Structure 1
Amino acid sequence: MINALFICGKARKRSTTAADITAGWDGFQADFAGLSKDADEQLSIEQIEWADVIFVMERRQKSRLTTLVGTTLKGKRIICLNIPDNYEYMQKELIDLLTPKLMSHLRVNLI
């Protein structure tokens, strides 16, 4: 089982969509969090420790993540998906962007 943690700013659109997309994939468990102080689900150290792989939506979030939790990330695989905050939760265009990227990074074949 691979534990995938998805992180964006407020945990309202991109990270929740990514977690919901992968929730039905065999061999994966997903969680999500936000880095902003007003995030719906603020990132916790327990989530970092739980995760096998951490996905951030933007490069600046990777930098912020490193600043916030530093050494807790040691040995963690962190992947930037380069998805801007231009989408709504479960918007078709967001799903169309996320799905192939996640399949590639997680080496999933749904066919």
Structure 2
Amino acid sequence: MPLLEVNEQELIRRTHTPSGREAVFFYTALCGTCQLGERMLDIVQAADPSIQISKININYAPVLREQWRISSVPCLVLLEDGEPVQFEYAMQSVDHLYKLLQQHFLTP
């Protein structure tokens, strides 16, 4: 299952509504490392469909880029009730991302 593409307005709306835990992947279209990171996240999501990951092109998210001070891509932002709690810039491996997301979504 591919990552769900969202736009900035939708993501801002979701941050103003307590919605539990989320993961958002920031990327750019011409970034090779971003493409690799997205493939790894696709594998994680296929291994555990309960993990829902959205993606957004950082070039179309200037408000969130500034507000959250995202310094580079790829960047996986873990959210809790609309607030960023962790920024993961290093897409180390599928195993690393799987454990990170399992901990984020399944830890009470």
TM score, norm. by length of structure 2: 0.42
Structure with bigger RCO (C-alpha 8 Å, 6+ apart): 2
Structure (1/2) with the larger strand percentage: 2
TM score, norm. by length of structure 1: 0.41
